[in-house]
Structure 1
Amino acid sequence: MLLAVDVGNTKIKVAVFEEYALIDKFIFDRDEVEKKINKIFKTHCEISQIVLSSVGKEDEDLLLWLQTYADLTVINRMSRFPFENHYASPDTLGVDRMVLSAGAVLSFPDKNRLVIDAGTCVTYDFIDRSNSYIGGAISPGLRLRYESMHNFTAKLPLLYPEMPSDYTGNTTNKAMHSGVINGLLYEIEGFMSRYIEQYGDVSIILTGGDAEFLAKRLKNTIFANSNFLLESLNKLYLYTIKIEND
């Protein structure tokens, strides 16, 4: 069994895999990591491998501690990926975006792929059918949009995502909900339409914490999977092992 660990901006997401099958999944805060990981290994004592990626600088103490449980593979920019990186500043490309792109390549072979990760930020990553990573875009996520309006104005309240009943808000709260939710939906639809217009057939993957909230409100055909990063970590690990053994 494999334990996949995604260290994000605000949460740590963990999943247990048996080959390609996701057996169990957990989400917890950073300060809970030791208690939660201990419990996972007691429940799934067959875990023999750990694969980890982090959006920020890797916590050396955490890595050393995890190695006391099982063999640890850390995914970073030096790892082997199933695509050619054509980003003009490859040293600044987030490892999470690289893992998602790898998952798209391994899940949708011989396709143009657009990965949309709706989390703290919304990231767009495009990998063409020849497995070339081209680039993408980054914009504020839902919560950042609400928080920025509250933090940088004198009177706007702090709201939480709520689908507006109409495009035209007739109260301040309703106007804010319309601006944030509809604004992000229009943004995503616009990016999807632009890539489809330029490249034709594009496999679109929507993931991240707000994926389910947004998916049902999007018009274009998408593959929505909030677990896609964890599944991509697992597939990238299996891909790496296969390459090393060939």
Structure 2
Amino acid sequence: MILTVDVGNTRIKAAVFEGDTALENFVFEKKELEKKIEIILKKFPDCTDLVAASVGQIEKEAFLTFENVLKIHFLTHEDAFPFANKYATPKTLGIDRMVLAAGAVLQFPQKNRLVIDAGTCITYDFIDENDNYLGGAISPGLRLRYESMHNFTARLPLLTLEAPVSYIGNSTTQAMHSGVVNGFVYEIDGFIDEYRRQFSNFIIILTGGDAEFLAKRLKNTIFANSNFLLESLSQTYQYKIDND
């Protein structure tokens, strides 16, 4: 069994895999890391490996606490990935984006793939049908858009995510919800439309913490999987083992 861990900007997500099957998923705060891993290992004592996509702002030592019971693996740019990295600055490409790209290649071979990760930031990553990673885009996620309106204006309130009642916001609060949510949806659909104009044989993968909220609002057909990064971690690690 393999324990995969994704350290995000706000929370940690983890999953236990047996082969390609996820047995259970977990979400917790960064400060709970050691305690939660201990709980997971008690529930799944047959775990042999821990694979992390990024340690974010958490020190590696927090993971190395478990070296006596697990093999600890931090995926890096030097590991084997199933695509050619054509990014102009390959060392600056986030390891989480590389893992998502790897998962797209391994799960959807011989297709043009656009991976959209809707988290603190939203990232777009494009891998063509010949397994070339070409790049993408980065912009603020839903939470950052709400926070920026509050932080950089004098009177706009700090709101939490809420589906707008109408496109025409009849109050400041509703106008903000309409601007954030509908603007976000228009952005994603606009990117997808542009890629579709240029490429055929195409699949869109939507993941991240806001994937489920967004999936039903997009006009384009997508494959939505909020745990795609965790699945991709497991698959990328297996690919690394097979190709090192």
TM-score interval, smaller chain: over 0.9
* Partners of 1:233 and 1:77 in 2: CA distance: 14
Q: Residues 24-103 of structure 1: matches in 2 within 5 Å?
A: 24-54=24-54, 56=56, 59-103=59-103
Shift of 1:63: 3.4
Shift of 1:242: 2.0
Q: Residues 82-161 of structure 1: matches in 2 within 5 Å?
A: 82-161=82-161
Shift of 1:58: 6.3
Comparing 125-134 with 7-16, greater Cα deviation is found at 7-16
* Partners of 2:160 and 2:98 in 1: CA distance: 29
Q: 3-state SS of the aligned residue for 1:66?
A: coil
Shift of 1:10: 1.3
* Partners of 2:224 and 2:236 in 1: CA distance: 19
Whether 1:197 and 2:197 are equivalent positions in the alignment is: yes
The answer as to whether partners of 1:111 and 1:128 remain within 8 angstroms in 2 is yes
* Partners of 2:15 and 2:141 in 1: CA distance: 24
Q: 3-state SS of the aligned residue for 2:242?
A: helix
Shift of 1:57: 5.9
- Give the unaligned 5+ runs of structure 1: none
* Partners of 2:60 and 2:227 in 1: CA distance: 26
The answer as to whether partners of 1:2 and 1:17 remain within 8 angstroms in 2 is yes
Shift of 1:99: 0.4
Query: Match for 1:64: what amino acid?
Result: L
Query: Match for 2:187: what amino acid?
Result: E
Partner residue of 2:224? 224
* Partners of 1:100 and 1:9 in 2: CA distance: 16
Partner residue of 1:208? 208
* Partners of 1:158 and 1:214 in 2: CA distance: 21
Q: 3-state SS of the aligned residue for 2:217?
A: coil
1:58 and 1:110, CA in 2 relative to 1: closer, same or farther beyond 3 A?
Answer: farther
* Partners of 2:217 and 2:28 in 1: CA distance: 28
Whether 1:186 and 2:186 are equivalent positions in the alignment is: yes
Partner residue of 2:243? 243
Query: Match for 1:69: what amino acid?
Result: V
The answer as to whether partners of 1:205 and 1:222 remain within 8 angstroms in 2 is yes
1:94 and 1:213, CA in 2 relative to 1: closer, same or farther beyond 3 A?
Answer: same
* Partners of 2:194 and 2:124 in 1: CA distance: 12
Normalising by structure 2, report the TM-score: 0.97
Partner residue of 2:165? 165
1:92 and 1:55, CA in 2 relative to 1: closer, same or farther beyond 3 A?
Answer: farther
Equivalent pairs, count: 244
The answer as to whether partners of 1:55 and 1:95 remain within 8 angstroms in 2 is no
* Partners of 1:170 and 1:57 in 2: CA distance: 41
Query: Match for 2:33: what amino acid?
Result: V
Shift of 1:145: 0.2
* Partners of 2:208 and 2:162 in 1: CA distance: 17
Shift of 1:77: 1.0
The answer as to whether partners of 1:55 and 1:94 remain within 8 angstroms in 2 is no
What are the superposed Cα offsets for residues 4-57 of structure 1, whole Å, 9 maximum, x if unpaired? Answer: 011111111110000000001111111111111111111000101111111636
What are the superposed Cα offsets for residues 177-197 of structure 1, whole Å, 9 maximum, x if unpaired? Answer: 010000000000000000010
- Give the unaligned 5+ runs of structure 2: none
Q: 3-state SS of the aligned residue for 2:65?
A: helix
Identity of aligned residues (%): 60
1:178 and 1:55, CA in 2 relative to 1: closer, same or farther beyond 3 A?
Answer: farther
